[in-house]
């Protein structure tokens, strides 16, 4: 039972706060968190939940990490923030250099921003401005995959799935782009001509108006947690080059080890023209994102009117965020993260396999530190969220998907408890 203080907090939350993807009149429960440590969230009522979400996939090192705490504290003694227009500072420069070293070749320049959606906006604007500088102003449209998700801002929404996505309400005000079917060639399968035919057709017919193709490499995240062939990406890159179209890799969800590679496009052994990273960049501590691009793009934009890239976030290059991002990357590289992701992958395979036999389940799939149970019907969010909390875990389903993307530090018994909770809750709440 909630204490009077917790009840008051929750009542004021209902009165004043609008949560993401929710109604002010929703009956979905809200749980007040008092603290977080390791892989555990401690609620105001004292209950501890094992976090299977990494706070929407970003807290890869878990919570209250001493080295990440110290990075922010040290930077705070110097400055919390300074504008990035006309000024620079060591944390930002070091971070940009590190990102160039870490990402695929030819991504030589970095533009910092404050969220994944904005990183995508930057990538799209950059692609359009590049072609304008190349005296091809008609190249303003984009190709993206059905079931794709690239963010919630206006530009990013225009390349999210227009039918099954979350933004159909805004269809009339969004730029009209090209969509092709999500690849049907599965992960680790080769891609054949029929899989590439829709892309090839669009490029052949409309390449003169297309600035870039944008994809989530290997894993389509919020659009359905679908895993697809890296060979598709490899061949898509070849086609884009053939038809003079840029390729943007949205690695916001997949970057920094989540799929078993540092970046998912490494499975295809390609270097995109532009790459977006975010989420795990700071280990979940602060909002920060980055758009990386080739010198060809940056030099072309800089040498032609208006000779500047037309974007500038107020909190661009925030020193606190850059400092903790550097430490998060250092911490990841210093760990045996590849072997660790392999262990998590096998534990997810073993732990979720029994879900496949449940009547309500359509599919179970695992890649790296991502485990997905796809249902035949959408969940009752209010009911199932409470059931997971009662089981001592924090799992946040959406639509037909119940998934795990746990912190990389999770232990075997903790991950087993997450998997067992999914099987238990589905067995007792979703059977037909």
Residue 99, CA distances (Å) to 70, 113, 142, 176, 365 in order: 21, 14, 26, 32, 30
Residues 111 and 241 in one domain: yes
Q: What is the mean pLDDT of residues 237-260?
A: 98
Kindly report the CATH number assigned to the domain that includes residue 207: 3.40.640.10
Residue 376 near residue 399, CB atoms below 8 Å: no
163 lies in the same domain as 279: yes
In this structure, of 8-17, 30-39, 77-86, the range with the lowest mean pLDDT score is 8-17
In this predicted structure, what is the pLDDT of residue 23? 86
Q: pLDDT at position 397, please?
A: 95
- The SS3 of residue 134 is coil
Averaged pLDDT of the chain: 95
Q: Active-site positions?
A: 21, 149, 250, 279
Q: Looking at residue 24, what is its pLDDT?
A: 86
**Where does a domain end: 311, 334, 357?**
334
SS3 343: helix
Cα within 13 Å of Cα(325), Cβ side: 31
- Which range has the worst mean pLDDT, 161-170, 365-374, 384-393, 410-419? 161-170
Q: Are residues 403 and 355 in the same domain?
A: yes
If asked whether residues 346 and 312 sit together in one domain, one would say no
Nearest CA to 372 out of 406, 413, 409, 341 is that of 406
Question: Final residue of a domain: which of 334, 349, 375?
Answer: 334
Residues 6 or more apart whose CB falls under 8 angstroms from that of 207 comprise 243, 244, 245
Residue 431 has pLDDT above 60, yes or no: no
Same domain, 195 and 185: yes
Dump pLDDT digits (tens) for 131-184.
999 999 999 999 999 999 999 999 999 999 887 767 778 888 999 999 999 999
Residues 185, 167: one domain? yes
Measured CA to CA, the distance from residue 296 to residue 284 in angstroms comes to: 32
Band (287; pLDDT cuts 50, 70, 90)? very high
Of residues 320 and 428, more confidently modeled: 320
| Domain end marker among 307, 334, 361 | 334
Average pLDDT over residues 193-197: 94
The answer to whether residues 55 and 81 belong to one domain is no
Q: How many CA atoms, within 13 angstroms, populate the side-chain half-sphere of residue 106?
A: 11
Question: What helix, strand, coil percent values describe the chain, rounded to 5?
Answer: 40, 15, 40
In terms of domains, do 326 and 341 share one?
no
The answer, yes or no, to whether residue 70 has pLDDT greater than 90, is yes
Shared-domain flag, residues 360 and 270: no
321 and 346 inside one domain: no
Name the residue range of residue 266's domain: 69-334
Predicted local confidence at residue 223, as pLDDT: 85
Which pLDDT score, from 0 to 100, does residue 432 have? 44
Strand 361-367 to 370-375 pairing: antiparallel
CATH of the domain at 419: 3.90.1150.10
pLDDT tens across 200-237, in order?
A: 999 999 999 999 999 999 999 988 899 999 999 999 99
State whether 104 and 158 are in the same domain: yes
Domain count of the fold of the chain: 2
Under the banding of pLDDT at 50, 70 and 90, the label for residue 67 is: very high
Mean pLDDT of the 401-410 span: 98
Same domain membership, residue 124 and residue 95: yes
């Amino acid at each position: 039972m909630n204490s009077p203080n917790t009840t008051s907090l929750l009542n004021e939350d209902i009165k004043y706060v609008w949560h993401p993807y929710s109604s002010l009149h929703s009956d979905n429960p809200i749980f007040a968190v008092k603290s977080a440590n390791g892989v555990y969230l401690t609620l105001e009522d004292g209950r501890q939940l094992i976090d299977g979400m990494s706070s929407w996939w970003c807290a890869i090192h878990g919570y209250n990490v001493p080295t990440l705490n110290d990075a922010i504290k040290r930077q705070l003694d110097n400055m919390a923030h300074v504008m990035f227009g006309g000024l620079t500072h060591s944390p930002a420069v070091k971070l940009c250099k590190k990102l160039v070293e870490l990402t695929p070749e030819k991504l030589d320049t970095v533009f910092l921003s404050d969220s994944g959606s904005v990183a995508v906006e930057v990538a799209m604007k950059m692609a359009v401005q590049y072609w304008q500088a190349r005296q091809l102003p008609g190249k303003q449209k984009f190709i993206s995959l059905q079931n794709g998700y690239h963010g919630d801002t206006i530009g990013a929404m225009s390349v999210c799935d227009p039918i099954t996505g979350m933004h159909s309400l805004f269809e009339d005000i969004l730029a009209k782009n090209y969509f092709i079917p999500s690849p049907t060639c599965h992960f680790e399968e080769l891609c054949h001509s029929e899989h590439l035919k829709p892309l090839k057709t669009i490029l052949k017919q409309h390449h003169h108006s297309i600035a870039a193709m944008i994809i989530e490499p290997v894993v389509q995240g919020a659009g359905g947690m679908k895993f697809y062939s890296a060979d598709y990406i490899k061949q898509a890159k070849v086609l884009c080059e053939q038809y003079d179209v840029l390729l943007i890799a949205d690695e916001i969800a997949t970057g920094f080890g989540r799929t078993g590679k540092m970046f998912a496009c490494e499975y295809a052994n390609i270097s995109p023209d532009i790459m977006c990273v975010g989420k795990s960049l700071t280990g979940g501590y602060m909002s920060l994102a980055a758009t990386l691009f080739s010198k060809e793009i940056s030099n072309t934009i800089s040498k032609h009117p208006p000779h500047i890239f037309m974007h500038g976030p107020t909190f661009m290059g925030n020193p606190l965020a850059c400092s903790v991002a550097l430490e998060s990357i250092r911490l990841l590289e210093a760990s045996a993260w590849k072997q660790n992701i392999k262990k998590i992958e096998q534990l997810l395979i073993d732990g979720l396999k029994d879900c496949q036999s449940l009547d309500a389940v359509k599919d179970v799939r695992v890649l790296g530190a991502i485990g997905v149970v796809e249902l035949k019907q959408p969940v009752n969010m209010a009911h199932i969220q409470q059931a997971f909390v009662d089981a001592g875990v924090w799992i946040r389903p959406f639509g037909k998907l119940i998934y795990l993307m746990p912190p990389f530090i999770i232990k075997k018994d903790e991950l087993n408890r997450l998997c067992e909770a999914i099987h238990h809750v589905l067995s007792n709440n979703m059977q037909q």
